[in-house]
Each structure stands twice: as C-alpha cells, then as structure tokens.
C-alpha cells in the first residue's frame, strides 16, 4: 500500500562536508515507499538506508548502528515483530513500526515488545519524519547523532566531543567562548545550515530541562549573536519571522 505523498519530493541539496544529523534504517519491502521516505528524510538533513527484508534489517542494524529504525510489520524472511524483539535484545535503538494493520491489538503488540511509536499505512511521509524527530528527541543520548565528531559549515568548526568552536574569518582563526546552551544552539544549526529551526524545536533539543518558554530561546540566541558580532559575523543566527532561526550562511 503506497504512502500518501505530494508532488514535491525533490530533496534539498546539502553540503557534503556538513555532517548529517541522523542515520535512519528503513526496513520496508516496497521500494517505492522507501524512495518516498528517504527523500523526505534527506530534506530534513537525515540519511536513510534500505533493508528489503527482516534478515537484512537485522544485519544492517548490527553493522550500522542507526539512530532510529523504521520497521514494517509484514517483512519477508523475518517479520517485523521478530526483528523488533531481536533489536530490543541487543539494546535500545528507537523503533517506529510501519503497518497496514489498523487494529488496536497490533499496536499493543508493538508497544509491548518495545516499539517507540506506530504509524499505520497509508501515511503522510512528512508526518512520519515529524514522528521520527519526536522519537529521537525523546530518546536523547540513545540516539547517537553520527560517528562524525566535528561539524563544519561556513566559517564554523564545531568539535562535539571537546565542546570547542573555532571560527575562521578573513584568514583569522578565533575560538568562541560559549555557554553550554549557546554551544548546543550553534551545533544544532551547523548540522543542517540551510534548515529553519522552530523555537519549540530548539527549546526541546538545546535548552536545559525546566525551561519551558520559547522566548528563552530568543534570549540565548541574542547572546550567541552578540558574541559572533564581536568577530565580525553579523546576523548569525538569522531570524525567520514567524518560525524561528537558521544558521544564515551558505554552507
């Protein structure tokens, strides 16, 4: 059963030197559904890998250690329930089940075995990506971002392990002294420099627990912006009226 989708499926181009945010393993035996979902994930700055049957899903999960598994229930060789049980025995990779079955018992089975969410076909691919992003945010440290530990975009070089930011402008090399929240905000936008992040999203992913006001994001961004202005970088991060912020440079 094909997913509902619109005509605009062309993924945005991303700089090859910029680290993608997450690796998503899609276990789905219908290639056209994988193609649709892969395009939508790529537009959101994520990479997708295809497993055509349950056995391949288990092999790729072990080899690639994806940030999230999208898992169809009715898979050849090894069905989705068996794959889910095996993945859960290995660890806590976030899993979203995809199925054409719309009965409560199927949903309860998936959640009981350990699925994080459940999407019924036919689905809207944009909604699947949004659900995946929500699961990844909830997963927190479980969802390892990428094996890449240094992000680069424009003048920025962000070392995730050392919590160090270097800025190269006009041949000058400077180090940014940032708070933890400012570092998280900058790193999030450097990951996908052309993407616009909503205040709500930045609040969830970058600010300490207990901060519940979106205007708190504005305050932290303002402080980050002032530090960048001191280095001659103006208007970064850029405001997108009515939405939030983006890095504001050509990656």
What does the domain layout of the chain look like in residue ranges? 23-142, 150-246
Of the candidate ranges 7-11, 66-70, 80-84, 110-114, the one whose mean pLDDT is the lowest = 7-11
How much is the pLDDT for 191? 81
At 194, give phi and psi (nearest 5°).
Answer: -95, -5
How much is the pLDDT for 162? 80
When the pLDDT of each residue in the chain is averaged and rounded to a whole number, the result is 81
pLDDT band for 198, please (50, 70, 90 cuts). confident
26 vs 150 pLDDT, higher one: 26
Q: What one-character DSSP code corresponds to residue 162?
A: T
pLDDT value at 143 more than 80 = no
Cα-Cα-Cα-Cα torsion 133, 134, 138, 140, nearest 10 degrees, comes to: 20
Assigned token pair, 133: 């992003």
How much is the pLDDT for 104? 55
pLDDT (tens digit per residue) in 15-62: 332 334 689 999 999 999 999 999 999 998 898 999 999 999 999 998
User: Collapsing DSSP states into helix, strand and coil, what is residue 149?
Assistant: coil
- The rounded distance, in Å, linking the Cα atoms of 148 and 159 is 9
User: Collapsing DSSP states into helix, strand and coil, what is residue 118?
Assistant: strand
Specify which residues 245 forms β-bridges with. Answer: 197, 239
Mean pLDDT of 193-214: 76
CATH for 150-246 (3.40.50.720, 1.10.10.10, 1.20.1510.10, 3.30.70.330)? 1.10.10.10
Mean pLDDT of 80-89: 84
Q: Strands 156-159 and 164-169: what pairing?
A: antiparallel
How much is the pLDDT for 126? 92
pTM above 0.85, yes or no: no
Mean pLDDT of 72-93: 86
Yes or no: domain 23-142 corresponds to CATH 3.40.50.2300 = yes
How much is the pLDDT for 3? 53
How much is the pLDDT for 99? 81
pLDDT value at 97 more than 50 = yes
| Crossing angle of helices 80-90 and 54-64, rounded to 10° | 20
How much is the pLDDT for 110? 58
Mean pLDDT of 188-206: 82
pLDDT value at 250 more than 80 = no
């Amino acid at each position: 059963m094909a997913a509902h989708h619109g005509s605009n499926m062309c993924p945005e181009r991303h700089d090859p030197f910029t680290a993608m945010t997450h690796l998503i393993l899609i276990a789905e035996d219908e290639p056209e559904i994988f193609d649709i979902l892969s395009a939508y994930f790529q537009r959101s700055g994520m990479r997708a890998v295809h497993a055509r049957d349950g056995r391949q899903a288990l092999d790729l999960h072990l080899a690639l250690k994806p940030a999230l598994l999208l898992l169809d229930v009715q898979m050849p060789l090894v069905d989705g329930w068996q794959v889910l049980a095996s993945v859960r025995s290995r660890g806590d990779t976030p899993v979203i089940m995809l199925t054409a079955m719309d009965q409560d018992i199927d949903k309860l089975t998936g959640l009981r075995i350990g699925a994080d969410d459940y999407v019924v076909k036919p689905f809207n691919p944009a909604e699947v990506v949004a659900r995946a992003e929500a699961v990844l945010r909830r997963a927190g440290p479980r969802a390892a971002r990428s094996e890449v530990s240094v992000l680069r975009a424009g003048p920025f070089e962000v070392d995730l392990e050392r919590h160090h930011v270097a800025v190269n402008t006009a041949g000058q090399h400077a180090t940014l002294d940032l708070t933890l929240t400012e570092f998280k905000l900058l790193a999030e936008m450097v990951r996908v420099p052309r993407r616009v992040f909503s205040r709500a999203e930045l609040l969830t992913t970058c600010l300490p627990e207990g901060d519940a006001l979106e205007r708190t994001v504005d305050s932290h961004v303002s402080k980050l912006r002032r530090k960048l202005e001191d280095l001659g970088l103006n208007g970064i991060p850029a405001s997108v009226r009515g939405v939030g912020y983006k890095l504001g440079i050509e990656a």
